[in-house]
Amino acid sequence: MVAIDELGTLWDKLFSAQPDPPPLLVVVTAAVALAVVSTRLPWRIARNAVTIAHEGGHALAALLTGRRLHGIRLHSDTSGLTLSAGRPTGPGMILTLLAGYVAPSLVGLAGAWLLGGNRITLLLWIAVALLLAMLVMVRNAFGAVSLLATGGVVLAVSWYASPDVQAAFAWTSVWFLLLGGVRPVVELQRLRSRGRMPESDADQLARLTPFPPLFWVALFALVNLLALVVGAALLAGPILADAGLTV
């Protein structure tokens, strides 16, 4: 009976909705995330979270399309590599390559949807579960440490922090993914224009399809910008509600 009661308490904590955040929190967390994405050193550090989502996108797409996932590597220069086996051409390979650059923004969009329903605890615990799932497939020490550190921070916030701190952390993280998903696409095209990324996802997709690399870069940008717009509308719910409007 005690175990059932504890399970019920955990279920309620996980799926219950928290109160609406104050509109100021939504604005401040957006500003903080934008500052991190826009400035060199903070971006250099925080970009590891974007790389985790990027490689996670490759890995998930590989598994969903029936490819054999061999491992994920995360590097200290914020680059990463996901290795999978299967047909070198065809829809599975195309979707696996396509998933990387759009994954951070789509993860951010999913997070914005959860925060739109004030499911802060659920969002944080899902994040921990996804990071643990990636940890199983990581094949280098820096990648393991990076995932353990990121997961440890998220778990600590979800378990020990006050509701206000959890809200601030969750909104900042989701804003960061939405905004941070756009910058790597810009960086990708800048490096490509200098001939420094001949094996980029866009160039590999161009070799597998009739479309040139610039088409794929533009598609990455379009998906990520749409995710940013929709995610921002979801996150701005408390502001719009305060103004008597709805999303």
Q: CA angle at residue 36 from 128 to 160, to 5 degrees?
A: 35
Task: Evaluate if pTM is beyond 0.95.
Answer: no
Q: Tell me the sheet residues that pair with 128.
A: none
Cα R_g (the chain), whole angstroms: 19
Amino acid identity at 130: L
SS3 74: strand
Nearest to 46 by CA among 177, 221, 166, 220: 177
Longest dimension (CA), the chain: 66
Q: Tell me the sheet residues that pair with 81.
A: 73
Q: CA–CA distance from 42 to each of 34, 49, 81, 123, 209 (Å)?
A: 11, 12, 23, 24, 37
Provide the residue-wise pLDDT of the chain in tens; the chain has 247 residues: 545 655 656 666 666 778 888 899 999 999 999 999 999 999 999 999 999 999 999 999 999 999 999 999 999 999 999 999 999 999 999 999 999 999 999 999 999 999 998 999 999 999 999 999 999 999 999 999 999 999 999 999 999 999 999 999 999 999 999 999 999 999 999 999 998 888 999 999 999 999 999 999 999 999 999 999 999 999 987 766 665 555 5
Distance of CA 172 to the CA centre of its chain: 12
Tokens coding 116: 């739109």
